[in-house]
Each structure stands twice: as C-alpha cells, then as structure tokens.
Amino acid sequence: ARWLIPPPLAINRTEMEGKVVIITGANSGCGLEAARLLCSWNATVILACRDMHRATKAAANITASLPEHCTGKVLVRKLDLASLASVKEFAARFRETGLGLHVLMCNAGYRSDALKVTTDGVEMHYQVNHLGHF
C-alpha cells in the first residue's frame, strides 16, 4: 500500500547513562511520559514541578515502571515558574549539586482566559510559559 502520510517513526533507544535531564511540569502528560522514557534509557531525570505531592507520586510511578536492569534515576525538585524567586532558588540548588545539564525540556505551561499578574508583576502567561524557563 502506498501511504499519503507515512506511519510514525519508531523511537530508537538512546543510551543516556551519565546524562542529566530537567523537565519542567513533568508530573503529568507529555512531561511525565518523556521522563519515564528518558529514565528507561538510564538518564538522571529531574522532575521540576510546582506541586511536590503530585511530583512525588509521578516519580514513584516512573520508578515502579522501570525494568530491573535500569540505572536511570528520577529526582523531584520544587520549581514554580510563576515565581522568579523560585526559579532562582531552583537554579542555585541545581548548581550546588555539581551536575552538568545535558537536556532541558521546557514542558510546563499555563493557560487561562483570565488576566493574571504574578507576584513579580509580570503577566502570568508570559512569565510561566516564557520567562520562567530562562
């Protein structure tokens, strides 16, 4: 059969041992599944999340799903992109670990029809979806 649009490409396993990945908003959805995949490829994945309870549950879920031989690690760290103080604290704590950063997945996002301003005086969408990641 001839395909108008070819079927999706398979994801090829990539060895990530020794690599460190930070994923924002990784406690659900695409961020959670990306974290699961990268951990299964032996990466150290940091779930950078606002809600520590949900992030801890996500980390436990990931850890329980990993194969026995897997050396991937999942860590949970607090990061609220709606607070630049939280972003600075997260960055300072990460630097203190001495780990290198190999991948940053800017997955967290905010969506609302209401106009909201953060405590930093910045419009919420702009700060969470753009400024906070950098």
Element (H, E) at 39: helix 29-40
Q: What is the mean pLDDT of residues 98-121?
A: 89
- Confidence class for position 67, pLDDT limits 50, 70, 90: confident
Q: What is the mean pLDDT of residues 78-94?
A: 94
Q: What is the mean pLDDT of residues 11-30?
A: 88
Token pair of 87 as six digits = 């972003």
Q: How far is CA 81 from CA 8, 22, 73, 89, in A?
A: 33, 14, 23, 11
Residue with tokens 């490409």, as numbered in its chain: 9
- 55, amino acid identity: A
Q: For residue 37, what pLDDT is reported? A: 92
Confidence (pTM): 0.86
Supply angle C-alpha 69, 96, 133, rounded to 5. Answer: 85
Token pair of 99 as six digits = 């780990």
